[in-house]
């Protein structure tokens, strides 16, 4: 069964860049059947889709975040990563990585999530 695990700093200073990595086990990021997504959830609030990447490197981002987001994939390490620049307190959230089924356009397997706090 596929498993996803987020990793990265839990505290980021305002105006800096948030960087997270998702390590996939039990499956391959090189599979043509899936996109690999990042989704976040501010404390006590709802889910917000950030974007996804395909193994080829093609990406699709949330228009509201597009200017600050970069998602990349490393097939040799079976990982994909998120960078969010110029962060503010509004970017404080639990960040989830997820496998996204291409045909269904739905994330089916999710990581446990990691809380990232933006604070000086």
Partner 1 sequence: QSALTQPASVSGSPGQSITISCTGTSSDVGSYNLVSWYQQHPGKAPKLMIYEGSKRPSGVSNRFSGSKSGNTASLTISGLQAEDEADYYCCSYAGSRVFGGGTKLTVL
**Contacts (CB under 8 A) with partner 1, residues 77-96:** 96
- Residue 107: strand pairing partners: 100
Are the beta carbons of 2 and 108 closer than 8 angstroms? no
**Contacts (CB under 8 A) with partner 1, residues 51-70:** 51-52, 60-64
Give min distance, CB of 30 to partner 1, in A.
Answer: 22
Enumerate residues 6+ apart whose C-beta is below 8 A from 110: 4, 39, 96, 97, 98, 99
104 binds partner 1 (CB under 8 A): yes
Determine the interface stretch with partner 1 among 9-17, 26-34, 74-82, 100-108 (rule: CB under 8 A). 100-108
């Amino acid at each position: 069964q596929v498993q996803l695990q987020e990793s990265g700093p839990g505290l980021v200073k305002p105006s800096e860049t948030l960087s997270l990595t998702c390590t996939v086990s039990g499956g391959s990021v090189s599979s043509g059947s899936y996109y690999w997504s990042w989704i976040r959830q501010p404390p006590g609030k709802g889910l917000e889709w950030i974007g996804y990447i395909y193994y080829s490197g093609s990406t699709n981002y949330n228009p509201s975040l597009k200017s600050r987001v970069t998602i990349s994939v490393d097939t040799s390490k079976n990982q994909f990563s998120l960078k969010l620049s110029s962060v503010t307190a509004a970017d404080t959230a639990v960040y989830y990585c997820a496998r996204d089924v291409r045909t269904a356009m739905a994330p089916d397997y999710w990581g446990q999530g990691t809380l990232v706090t933006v604070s000086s």
